[in-house]
Amino acid sequence: MAERIEIMHEKNMQKETSKQLVLGMVVKVLVYAFLILMGVIVLFPFYWMLNSSLKTLTEYRLSVPTFFPRQVMFSNYAEAFQAASLGRLFLNTMIVGLVSTILSLVITILSAFAFARLEFKGKNILFAGLLATMMIPGELFTITNYTTVTNFGWINTYTVLIVPFLVSVFYIYLLRQNFLQIPNELYLAAKVDGTSDFKYLCKVMIPLSLPTLISITILKMMGAWNSYIWPRLVANDAKHRMVTNGLRNAFRDTTGDVNYPVQMAAVALVSAPLFLVFIFLRKYIMKGVSRSGIKG
């Protein structure tokens, strides 16, 4: 009798576990289905951009869409490159991006070093004050800065695109935290050896915080690539126009009867550098972004 009960119990248990197994499988399938569906939705705009950019206008305008171009039109890309004068836009953006990144790195490193390693009166108050300015939306600064740069005679120059944004309190904060993690003993040892502060900064601190510096570089370059509002306000001439602005300018109409294949080719060309950077430097981008909470 007791044996029987035990066997029945065991059978029940087996039933239970197999039931759980099946349930687990179902849940797993559902989870994958959900993720893949969301992934497809997320990727769809990119696919549609590429698909549309390779079609002829007639094919794009078919009332039943084709999901792969019948006739692959690489010429759309050449046309887009010309129509938006992308060459010039890329060049301008590269100049602004590179110069502002280099200068910004120098300024950030010097300030972060002062805040992390040097002693001076009012250090903590000054640092807290800087952090407080991060709360203020950028638009508040733009109103006055627009007047300031006009008075400086900087309108329609590279300077106006570079100088006002060289200092980022956030980058200083990020790098200072990194510098603080480097043990103080190293600094004191260097002092005893008679190494100057500047030499120590270049030989020890910068190499040790290279990952943070790379993150800052990428975020800054992406910022230049994506900036739109300020360049439109202060440097919207053909000679200095940057890529986002130029794209919007070259294709003013988004609705109605637009030559979408060429427009999408231009969009793809503008997006390509960002994707290339992402593919090669994914780790640094994700690390930098997760600490920043800012978009480009």
Partner 1 sequence: MANSMVESRHPWKAWIYLSPALVLLLVFTVWPIINTVRMAFLVDYSGLKAVGGMTFKFGIGNFSKVLKYKKFIQCMKNTVIICFITVPVSTMLALLISVALNSIKGLQKFLQTVFFLPYVTNSIAIGMVFAAMFNIVGSFYGTENELIVTAGIINNVIEFFGGKPVNWINYGSTYAANITVMVIYIVWNALPFKILILLGGLQSVNKQYYDAAKVDGTSRRRIFTRITVPLLSPMIAYVVITGFIGGFKEYTSIVGIFGESMGPADNAGRLNTMVGFIYDSLASNNQGRASAAALILFGLILIVTLLQLYVSKKRVHY
Helices 260-292 and 2-53, packing angle to 10 deg: 130
Site string for partner 1, 219-258 (x = CB under 8 A): ---x--xx-xx---x---------xx--xx--xxxxxxxx
CB of 104 to partner 1, least distance (A): 10
Q: Please list, in sequence order, all residues whose beta carbon lies within 8 angstroms of the beta carbon of residue 117, skipping any fewer than 6 positions away.
A: 179, 187, 197, 205
The answer to the question of residue 146 lying near partner 1 (CB under 8 A) is yes
Phi, psi values for residue 54, rounded to 5°: -105, 5
CB of 226 to partner 1, least distance (A): 5
Give Cβ neighbours of residue 99 (< 8 Å, ≥ 6 apart): 158, 162
Segment lying near partner 1 (by CB under 8 A), choices 3-11, 68-76, 204-212, 260-268: 260-268
211 binding partner 1? (CB under 8 A) = no
215: contact with partner 1 by CB under 8 A? no
CB 173 within 8 A of CB 108: no
Distance, CA of 221 to CA of 116 (rounded, Å): 25
Closest to partner 1 by CB, 7 or 29:
29
Residues 166-195 that bind partner 1 (CB under 8 A): 166-167, 169, 172, 184, 187-188, 191
Is position 25 an interface residue for partner 1 (rule: CB under 8 A)? no
Among 137, 183, 194, 207, binds partner 1 (CB under 8 A): 137
Alpha carbons 83 and 206: distance in angstroms, whole number: 43
Helices (H), the chain: 2-53, 57-60, 75-83, 86-117, 123-133, 138-151, 159-162, 169-180, 184-192, 197-200, 206-208, 210-226, 229-234, 243-250, 260-292
Amino acid identity for residue 174 in this structure: L
Looking at residue 158, the DSSP 8-state letter turns out to be S
289 interacts with partner 1 by CB under 8 A: yes
**Residue ranges in 38-77 that form contacts with partner 1 under rule CB under 8 A:** 38-39, 41-43, 45-46, 48-49, 52, 60-65
83 belongs to the binding site for partner 1 (CB under 8 A)? no
Min dist. Cβ of residue 11 to partner 1 (A)? 20
Q: Which is nearer to partner 1, 18 or 184 (CB)?
A: 184
Nearest-approach distance from CB 91 to partner 1, in angstroms: 17
